[in-house]
Structure 1
Amino acid sequence: MSGLAQFSAEVQAEVARVREVVSALHAELPRWGLVVWTAGNVSQRVAGADLFVIKPSGVTYDELTPESMVVCDLDGNLVDGDRSPSSDTAAHAYVYRNMPEVGGVVHTHSTYATAWAARAEPVPCVLTMMADEFGGDIPIGPFALIGDDSIGQGIVETLKGSRSPAVLMRNHGPFTIGKDAKAAVKAAVMVEEVARTVHISRQLGEPLPIAHEHIDSLYDRYQNVYGR
């Protein structure tokens, strides 16, 4: 038995639901100006099975549908779908294998965040929004080549034990994680916003850092009190 037929009806129904979710969330990337052409990808883990859904490779955002999303196992092997998985699939799979709390992964080449990645410089926590969302600086991950799980290793190495849901992979661009794909997309939007704002601030002078105790207080409030 191969493909999704080896899984229960419940898992197959969850796969169909996640395909809908991931397809819809891909529309958020061009909407917020985070991608060009076919670059970028969103994935989400499938509850109840060692599977995730991800964008197919080389397909424009206008052509994406739930049916075009592909399903992979946690080793990055194609389980179901008519197209090749994203070229970043091995990185996503490595994150899911090594960070079981992560339910969604996003990668973009958004302009300002990628500009910081090209300089291998963390975005300093100089905005209350950054303290809220990231709990500190947005870190830089190591340089890694596309094609195997080297990028995934760099993401996990950088983010394990970090409060940040985002890493700027050196010379490449941002990867974000979350409890699901929607949370990871939100982090991708926020990374670009703060990278842009801090860049503009530096054109005016040196941004003022926020004290660590205030970062901790802001992060705790936003994550545990705000909106609840």
Structure 2
Amino acid sequence: MSTTFEMSKPELMAKAHRQMRDALPETAWSARQKLALTCRILHDAGHDSGLAGQITTRAEKPGTYYTQRLGLGFDEIGAENLLLVDEDLNVLEGDGMPNPANRFHSWVYRARPDVNCIIHTHPLHVSALSMLEVPLAISHMDTSPLFEDCAFLPEWPGVPVGNEEGRIISEALGDKRAVLLAHHGQLVAGRSIEEACVLAVLIERAARLQLLAMSAGALKPIPEALAREAHDWVSAPKRHQAAFAYYARRALKQHPDCLA
């Protein structure tokens, strides 16, 4: 006999969250492996732009983080060739040098103790939207995790290798999880590697949807209350873990070497 048909929507949502906590397994990958997987996932999702872009995650020691080596593309990153660097970008472990643009990651990490992974890339549709100098518009259920959670930097500050750019970008991000950078690209700041990866995949999809819709007519807004409800529903950590695991399984079929 059914026991759920008389339950309210909030009750059903709470029940589903409890089920996700129990039913969806934790992954056994290390932070380095998750970062390598993220590089491959985003490469396949259209975030590749030569040597542009950086992906970092906090390491065990405060003030340090892992990042990729300058000179390698996202499709070449593996758990074994990541660098461990400090806030000044001094290499503590690994060979080679980090991207000098990682400097603004240090600024974001200092400003946001809740952030554990930063992804900055120049994917095609995000970059095209950034050239129009318009913010990201959220008017579809799939993109709701970015509703009221994507800031906009309307002026390009130039190559982000100075402290000035670190201040500007970290201030533009504020307390949100993403920022669209005019004439540049996107930045996602996640509480976990899984969350950052999923949001980075999503922001490129959102930009593509926006450009397609704008080519056909004026965008129509979605109700704010429902958008916030969807934002919180999809933003559950367990959902991010499950989505990341799915993306990782796809990536490993094409890039079995990244966990070597």
TM-score, normalized by length of structure 2?
0.73
Query: Is residue 225 of structure 2 the alignment partner of residue 207 of structure 1?
Result: no
The structure where helix makes up a greater share of residues is 2
- Over aligned residues, Cα RMSD in angstroms? 2.4
The answer on whether the counterparts of 2:35 and 2:55 sit within 8 Å (CA) in structure 1 is: yes
2:69 to 56, 59, 74: 56
The superposition leaves residues 167-205 of structure 1 with CA deviations (integer Å, 9 ceiling, x where unpaired) of 111211111110122221211110010110111111111
Runs of 4+ in structure 1 displaced over 4 angstroms? Answer: 224-228
1:180 to 164, 176, 192: 192
RCO higher in structure (CA 8 A, sep ≥6) = 2
Match of 2:141 in 1: 128
- What is the letter of the counterpart of residue 164 of structure 2? S
The change in CA–CA distance for 1:36 and 1:159 in structure 2 (over 3 A counts) is: closer
- What is the letter of the counterpart of residue 123 of structure 1? L
Query: Kindly, what percent of the aligned residue pairs are identical?
Result: 23
* Pairing of 1:62-211 with structure 2 (within 5 A): 62-131=75-144, 133-136=145-148, 138-141=150-153, 142-145=155-158, 146-162=160-176, 165-211=177-223
SS of the residue corresponding to residue 211 of structure 2 reads: helix
The change in CA–CA distance for 1:115 and 1:100 in structure 2 (over 3 A counts) is: same
Pick the structure with greater CA Rg.
2
SS of the residue corresponding to residue 88 of structure 1 reads: helix
- Tell me, in whole angstroms, the C-alpha distance in 2 between the residues paired with 1:168 and 1:42: 16
TM-score, normalized by length of structure 1?
0.82
The answer on whether the counterparts of 2:195 and 2:237 sit within 8 Å (CA) in structure 1 is: no
- Tell me, in whole angstroms, the C-alpha distance in 1 between the residues paired with 2:183 and 2:124: 12
Match of 1:46 in 2: 59
Gaps of at least 5 residues in structure 1 are 1-15
